[in-house]
């Protein structure tokens, strides 16, 4: 029987996991030459490519020296940490990737702690040694300390280290000696990790992950942990809540290269995908038909943030999207629950609005971006962190935040974070940067990234990671600036925008249609200002023809979806259509707004 190694690649965001998996596939030639596009083949959905991040963990497999290596590429962003934790269940060991300059980051600590707790051994890969100013020796020391602090066992502490550059496609035991392949790493994998063990007995598989296809429905993925599974086998589905269902596996697939290969049977130790089991959830066991035994289940992580999703009721409703009714939005949200594990949807008092719960701003924004590309129009409210009552006391999520910033702006960063109730814990030099570590309520993180980037001219890098629920830290200053609001429906004119430029900056360019109550700019003062942006230049004022074209207008600031989500306040909505993002007051009419704000 073929020897198998199951490994997961774990790291902080952007440390090079997907690039490495690509190189492994490439160098073991698991796909035809012409399939290689030069881009990361594994980040295969549009959003992953555009953003350069992995959103969903993926299984691939290669054969090296007659050993089958199943590799699980995992996402590095903190919002998807639960996904990593889950798929670790399928792995015998992990490759811990660490950037040779950045060193261990919050997500490195989180994923490593999970892997060590689960008893996995790790190979350390110090990646990106091609980077100038990299400091692989220091990074090794830091990682060793991290293992130590996370209570690694003697055996786990004896991890081998491989250095290299995923991007350039090489790995070696000595970082100063460049090679032209990653074979040193592949050898380390097959030598250091034990072969996946084979256990005789009745079939058992824990459903760890899922996929969805509009043709065959939901596909369950997991590792066979005892016995053998066969095509068309009758099995028992043992649900996490104790319910037992008799069912049948239809088709079985193993992973091969980038794709899947149909299999008649899959033996203990291998990872497989199966169709035909409809009613499953993550954490259920596929067990023997006659003598079913459940495996210890796994938890799917709880959401930490919620947002109100509602239909678009702006004056521009229905102009740009195809799916706009509450029925459309509702069906789409419930469909998302089929595969988006950490997401929840709750009905509200209004049939037009739903509360959607997710793992963070990125997690929710990916759903919103996907919906808008599919042709949906909707509006969302300000993201809210989930508050818990613990022992009768109000608790809120608190996170670890690290910021690496040039020395001359580190002071500004500390000031900004402190304003948001952040507490500075560590400050130390890291290359020519200052490395800062804080504890901060999740609430305080909302909108912080853009203000830090502005204050440091884009030179700071930030990362955060949920730590724990802690007692409520008191009110946090929201957006300091007020906004500029359009007075009425119309088209913004260069003349009016020019006249108002000293009042703030604009989110709207001349020529864009606007509506009354829409947020069209940021005020220089803390209060909101209603302005008329649709005024045409009075003819009597005209001195020379065409002078309108000569006005110099600063280009409008265009927010990304996440920036806009983090910008809006409680009394505002973000309107999302396939073509536009507009911010607006919930109550477009000024008098209603005044009345409502008195009520609060
Ligand atoms: N200089 C250098 N850059 C690298 C190296 N490996 C990866 N990168 C770059 O780092 C960026 C992130 O690489 P990815 O492979 O997408 O990182 P990842 O760990 O999969 O990221 P997430 O999936 O979002 O967590 C890309 O721009 C890569 O080109 C390396 O060895 N050296
Ligand atoms: Mg990736």
Q: Is any ligand 1 atom within 6 A of the Cβ of residue 15?
A: yes
For the segment 420-431, what is each residue's pLDDT rounded down to a tens digit? 999 999 999 887
Confidence band of 207 (pLDDT split at 50, 70, 90): very high
Please give the average per-residue pLDDT across 25-48, as a whole number: 65
Q: For the chain, give the mean pLDDT.
A: 89
pLDDT of residue 297: 86
For the segment 531-553, what is each residue's pLDDT rounded down to a tens digit? 999 988 765 555 544 445 556 88
For the segment 312-340, what is each residue's pLDDT rounded down to a tens digit? 999 999 999 999 999 999 999 998 888 78
What ranges make up the beta strands (E) of 268-392? 271-274, 285-288, 305-310, 344-347, 353-358, 378-380, 384-385, 388-390
- Ligand whose nearest atom lies closest to the CA of 43: 2
- Ligand whose nearest atom lies closest to the CA of 164: 1
pLDDT of residue 479: 81
Q: Is any ligand 1 atom within 6 A of the Cβ of residue 23?
A: no
Kindly report which listed range (30-39, 60-69, 522-531) carries the lowest average pLDDT score: 30-39
Tokens 């005789």 found at: 200
For the segment 270-298, what is each residue's pLDDT rounded down to a tens digit? 999 999 998 898 899 999 999 999 998 88
Please give the average per-residue pLDDT across 126-135, as a whole number: 93
For the segment 465-497, what is each residue's pLDDT rounded down to a tens digit? 888 899 999 999 888 789 999 999 999 999 999
> Candidates 52, 57, 71, 175: which one to mutate for ligand 1, based on the most atoms within 8 Å of Cβ?
52
Q: If we measure between CA atoms, which residue out of 84, 76, 56, 82 comes closest to residue 13?
A: 76
Asked whether 96 and 11 are in contact (CB, 8 A), the reply is: yes
Q: Ligand 1 atom closest to Cα of 54? A: 23
Q: Answer yes or no: is pLDDT of 30 > 60.
A: no
Q: Is any ligand 1 atom within 6 A of the Cβ of residue 19?
A: yes
In degrees rounded to 5, what are phi and psi of residue 297? Answer: -85, 170
Q: If we measure between CA atoms, which residue out of 113, 118, 123, 119 comes closest to residue 147?
A: 113
pLDDT of residue 466: 85
Confidence band of 79 (pLDDT split at 50, 70, 90): confident
- How far does the centroid of ligand 2 lie from the alpha carbon of residue 539, in Å? 58
Tokens 């940490």 found at: 81
Tokens 């704000």 found at: 597
Q: How far is CA 274 from CA 61, 189, 198, 551, in A?
A: 17, 27, 20, 64
- How far does the centroid of ligand 1 lie from the alpha carbon of residue 386, in Å? 32
Q: Answer yes or no: is pLDDT of 46 > 80.
A: no
Nearest CA to ligand 1 atom 24: 53
pLDDT of residue 4: 94
Length of the chain: 600
Confidence band of 34 (pLDDT split at 50, 70, 90): very low
Burial class (CB in 10 A: 0-12, 13-18, 19+), 187: middle
pLDDT of residue 549: 54
Kindly report which listed range (37-41, 188-192, 321-325) carries the lowest average pLDDT score: 37-41
Please give the average per-residue pLDDT across 32-59, as a whole number: 69
Confidence band of 42 (pLDDT split at 50, 70, 90): low
Q: Is any ligand 1 atom within 6 A of the Cβ of residue 54?
A: yes
Distance CA 55, CA 75 (A): 5
Q: If we measure between CA atoms, which residue out of 458, 453, 423 comes closest to residue 439?
A: 423
């Amino acid at each position: 029987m073929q020897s198998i190694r199951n490994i997961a690649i774990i790291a902080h965001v952007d440390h090079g996991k997907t690039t490495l998996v690509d190189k492994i596939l490439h160098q073991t030639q698991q796909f035809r030459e012409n399939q290689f596009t030069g881009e990361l083949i594994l980040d295969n959905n549009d959003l992953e490519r555009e953003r350069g991040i992995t959103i969903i963990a993926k299984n691939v497999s290669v054969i090296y020296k007659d050993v089958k290596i199943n590799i699980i590429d995992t996402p590095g962003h903190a919002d998807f940490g639960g996904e990593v934790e889950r798929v670790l269940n399928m792995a015998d060991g992990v490759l811990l990737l660490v950037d040779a300059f950045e060193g261990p980051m919050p997500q490195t600590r989180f994923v490593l702690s999970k892997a060590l707790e689960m008893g996995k051994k790790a190979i350390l890969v110090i990646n990106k040694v091609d980077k100038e100013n990299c400091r692989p020796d220091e990074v090794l020391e830091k990682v060793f300390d991290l293992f130590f602090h996370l209570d690694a066992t003697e055996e786990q502490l004896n991890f081998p280290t491989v250095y290299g550059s995923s991007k350039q496609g090489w790995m070696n035991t000595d970082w100063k000696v460049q090679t032209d392949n990653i074979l040193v790493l592949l050898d380390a994998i097959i030598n250091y990790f034990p072969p996946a063990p084979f256990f005789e007995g009745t079939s058992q598989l824990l459903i760890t992950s899922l996929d969805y296809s509009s043709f065959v429905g939901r596909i369950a993925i997991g590792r066979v942990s005892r016995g053998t599974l066969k095509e068309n086998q009758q099995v028992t589905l043992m649900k996490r809540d104790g319910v037992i269902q008799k069912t049948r596996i239809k088709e079985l697939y193993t992973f091969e290269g980038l794709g899947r290969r149909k299999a008649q049977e899959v033996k203990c130790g291998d990872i497989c995908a199966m169709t035909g089991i409809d009613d499953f959830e993550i954490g259920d066991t596929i067990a023997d038909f006659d003598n079913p035994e459940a495996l210890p289940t796994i938890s799917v992580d709880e959401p930490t943030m919620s947002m109100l999703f509602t239909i678009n009721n702006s004056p521009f409703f229905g102009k740009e999207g195809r799916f706009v009714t509450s029925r459309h939005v509702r069906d789409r949200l419930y469909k998302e629950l089929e595969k988006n594990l950490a997401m929840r949807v709750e009905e509200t008092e209004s049939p037009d609005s739903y509360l959607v719960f997710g793992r963070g701003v990125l997690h929710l924004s990916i759903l919103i971006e996907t919906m808008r590309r599919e042709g949906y129009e909707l509006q969302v409210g300000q993201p809210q962190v989930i508050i818990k009552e613990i022992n009768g006391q109000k608790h809120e999520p608190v996170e670890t935040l690290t910021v690496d910033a040039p020395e001359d702006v580190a002071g500004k960063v500390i000031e900004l974070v402190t304003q948001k109730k952040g507490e500075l814990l560590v400050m130390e030099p890291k290359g020519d940067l200052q490395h800062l570590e804080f504890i901060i309520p999740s609430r305080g993180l909302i909108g912080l990234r853009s203000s830090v980037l502005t204050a440091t001219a884009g030179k700071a890098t930030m990362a955060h990671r949920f730590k724990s629920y802690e007692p409520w830290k008191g009110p946090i200053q929201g957006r300091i600036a007020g906004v500029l609001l359009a007075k009425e429906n119309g088209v913004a004119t260069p003349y009016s925008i020019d006249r108002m430029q000293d009042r703030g900056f604009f989110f709207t360019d001349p020529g864009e249609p606007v509506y009354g109550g829409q947020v069209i700019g940021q005020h220089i003062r803390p209060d909101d200002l209603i302005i008329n942006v649709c005024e045409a230049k009075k003819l009597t004022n005209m001195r020379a023809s065409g002078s309108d074209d000569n006005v110099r207008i600063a280009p409008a600031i265009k927010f990304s979806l996440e920036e806009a989500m983090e910008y809006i306040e409680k009394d505002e909505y973000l309107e999302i259509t396939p073509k536009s993002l507009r911010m607006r007051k919930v109550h477009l009419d000024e008098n209603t707004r005044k009345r409502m704000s008195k009520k609060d």
